Structure 1
Amino acid sequence: MTNEKISTPKSGYLMLIVALVLIALAIIASSYLRNSTGLLVVPIILLLLPGFMIVNPNGSKVLILFGAYKGTVKANGFFWTNPFYKKERISLRARNFDSERLKVNDKKGNPIMISVILVWRVDDTYRAAFDVDNYENFVRVQTDAAVRKLAGSYAYDNFDDDQAEFTLRSGLQEINVALEKELDERLEIAGIHVHEARIGYLAYAPEIASAMLRRQQAEAIVAARFKIVEGAVGMVELALQQLSEKNVVDLDDDKKAAMVSNLMVVLCGDKDVSPVVNAGTLHQ
């Protein structure tokens, strides 16, 4: 629920004309009529001047009279209001906030470095002005709190759990949606609307980065070896099948075992194999 009230003040051009007329009368009374009564107009003119204000596009002015909220001017232009109003400027433009890189623990307790990029704007000037002490600082503090909560709810990567639905590294789209929703709920009290929130930086903390890199490399090597062995077994099986179907050579179990062993060494080795020419029989 909002307590914001939209105020429409008088045009500033009309009151500017009135002020200029009073100035002219004061000059005429003092210079030509030699009458000091023209000086009495000066306090009136000085009283009118604080009432003038300019509201730029996508800007606003919150009007306060002796501690009482009187409304918000969101229309842009040149206006005149009660000169006793205190006018607090609040921008309605969209703003970018790139948070600092925070060191937090993910769901598995691993220290990581993370930062977010937030696009926000003030939607309710009453809440921004009166429900929080400083709405810009409120955005920074709540963003840090939301990032810490988000990082503690998800693992950085699914090293040990291949069934993990989302991780900070692999599920960025879903994580960004959850982050935006969390921030929108936190900043609603300050009348702030979140247009976009996304992770801007994500990495392991320096003290474990090298160890995690070696772990990733090891997993990549194991996965590659698995594919190599899987392909080699298929090739050996196909070779034995074709040799048997075409009656190229009659192989007993011992010869098949030797052939399989040699083929697996050739296909799975990480170095080139030097061929050996057998000048004797198959049994030598």
Structure 2
Amino acid sequence: MAGANVTQDVPYRAVNGWVALFIAIPCLVLAALTFLGGGVLVLGRGSVGPAFLLVSVVALVIGIVLLAGLITLKPRQAAVLTLFGRYHGTIARDGFWWRNPLTAVAKVSLATEAQETKIITVNDLMGNPITIAAAAIWRVQDAARATFDVGSYHDFVSLQAEAALRNIASTRPYDHEEAENVGDEAGDAKRRLAEKATRVASLRADRDAIHADLITELGQRVAVAGVVVEDVRITHLAYAPEIAGAMLKRQQAGAIIAARRQIVEGAVAIVRDTIRRLEQPEDGHAGILFDDQGRASMAQNMLIMIVGDREATPVVSVGTKP
């Protein structure tokens, strides 16, 4: 937020609360004693009676002021002080403190908090509607900014987390599979989009890169509120219900094709190795010589047996009738 009037955090020099308490108690005791003594002297028409009453009032005021300024802060908690509407400083240390009793106190938690976004629907880089949600781990680093520069820093972080998630999800593909399968028959715009999608991290496969991008994006957005983002993780990711069935079938088809390709590659390697070992002499025994037709027939039969889904049923040739 260039040019924005950002509040600068100023430490407040608070006094140890126990010191103020130990002064306040004797002042109150003195006020009580001098009030009683002054009253007795006044009734007895003593000349020093009014002076005792004056000391009693002064001691009472001092004691009340000291007690009214006491404040207790828990660990990971800060107090933002304002005096007549103006920022007066921040107490960021836990303990028992005394501050000017005329200052208003706003306590801010500095503890780490977790906040999860709702599940939102957004189009990914390839235009497919997806549902996505994320959880952010954050904490307040500057209590003054969190108090004065935004209305409610909790709501601000929630809105910015959703905005950052939408931005990241809309500029990344769900996965690279669809982009890699875009053919030449697609339009120029579609091909350019697919080329861009293959160069950036995908939401499904490149989680570490996506999480790093989310941390950077959200951190820049909430810095104005004095908030630092420690981690952001995707908690939900799926295709939108209207296309989930079609995308599931596409993924299943891709998995089947990949499995078949691996089976065929393995079968070809097995056939080549088998024919090579049969033709190669070993342990003083001559190898079996095949002609081209024999090699082709053996390769065909072995490939059918290995690649086929059903169990092979061998047929033994016992010769032909003369």
Aligned counterpart, 1:248: 288
Aligned counterpart, 2:16: 11
Q: 259, 268, 272: which one pairs with 2:311?
A: 272
The 5 Å alignment of 1:97-116 reads 97-116=115-134
Aligned counterpart, 1:189: 224
TM-score relative to the length of structure 2: 0.77
Gaps (5+ residues) in structure 1?
none
Amino acid across the alignment from 1:75: R
Amino acid across the alignment from 1:138: F
Aligned counterpart, 2:177: 159
TM-score relative to the length of structure 1: 0.87
Amino acid across the alignment from 1:20: I
SS of structure 2 residue aligned to 1:141: helix
2:204 is equivalent to residue 169 of structure 1? yes
The 2-side partners of 1:14 and 1:132 are apart by 36
Cα pair 1:154 1:167 within 8 Å, conserved: yes
Aligned counterpart, 1:81: 99
Amino acid across the alignment from 2:212: V
Cα pair 1:158 1:164 within 8 Å, conserved: no
SS of structure 2 residue aligned to 1:160: helix
The 1-side partners of 2:174 and 2:258 are apart by 20
CA RMSD of aligned residues (A): 2.8
Aligned counterpart, 1:208: 243
2:272 is equivalent to residue 232 of structure 1? no
**CA drift at 1:143:** 0.2
The 1-side partners of 2:24 and 2:287 are apart by 114
SS of structure 2 residue aligned to 1:161: helix
* Identity level (%): 37
Cα pair 2:124 2:171 within 8 Å, conserved: yes
Gaps (5+ residues) in structure 2?
1-5, 43-52, 181-197, 281-285
The 2-side partners of 1:252 and 1:153 are apart by 55
Cα pair 1:128 1:191 within 8 Å, conserved: yes
Amino acid across the alignment from 2:102: F
SS of structure 2 residue aligned to 1:3: coil
Cα pair 1:8 1:75 within 8 Å, conserved: no
Q: 139, 143, 152: which one pairs with 2:157?
A: 139
Deviates more, 1:92-101 or 1:199-208: 199-208
The 1:161/1:44 distance shift into structure 2, 3 A limit, reads: same
Q: 87, 91, 103: which one pairs with 2:109?
A: 91
The 1:44/1:267 distance shift into structure 2, 3 A limit, reads: same
The 2-side partners of 1:30 and 1:250 are apart by 125
The 2-side partners of 1:54 and 1:102 are apart by 41
The 1:244/1:132 distance shift into structure 2, 3 A limit, reads: same
The 5 Å alignment of 1:33-112 reads 34=39, 37=53, 40=57, 45-112=63-130
Aligned counterpart, 2:195: none
Number of aligned residue pairs: 282
**CA drift at 1:46:** 4.6
The 2-side partners of 1:260 and 1:81 are apart by 92
The 1-side partners of 2:290 and 2:150 are apart by 88
Deviates more, 1:22-31 or 1:121-130: 22-31
Q: 254, 257, 261: which one pairs with 2:300?
A: 261
The 2-side partners of 1:40 and 1:244 are apart by 118
Amino acid across the alignment from 2:256: I
Deviates more, 1:80-89 or 1:39-48: 39-48
The 1:131/1:252 distance shift into structure 2, 3 A limit, reads: closer
The 1:9/1:231 distance shift into structure 2, 3 A limit, reads: closer
The 1:267/1:61 distance shift into structure 2, 3 A limit, reads: same
The 2-side partners of 1:161 and 1:123 are apart by 41
**CA drift at 1:241:** 4.6
Give CA-to-partner distance per residue, 1:55-113, whole Å, 9 cap, x none: 22221111101111111011222222221110010111111222222222211122222
SS of structure 1 residue aligned to 2:122: strand
**CA drift at 1:234:** 3.1
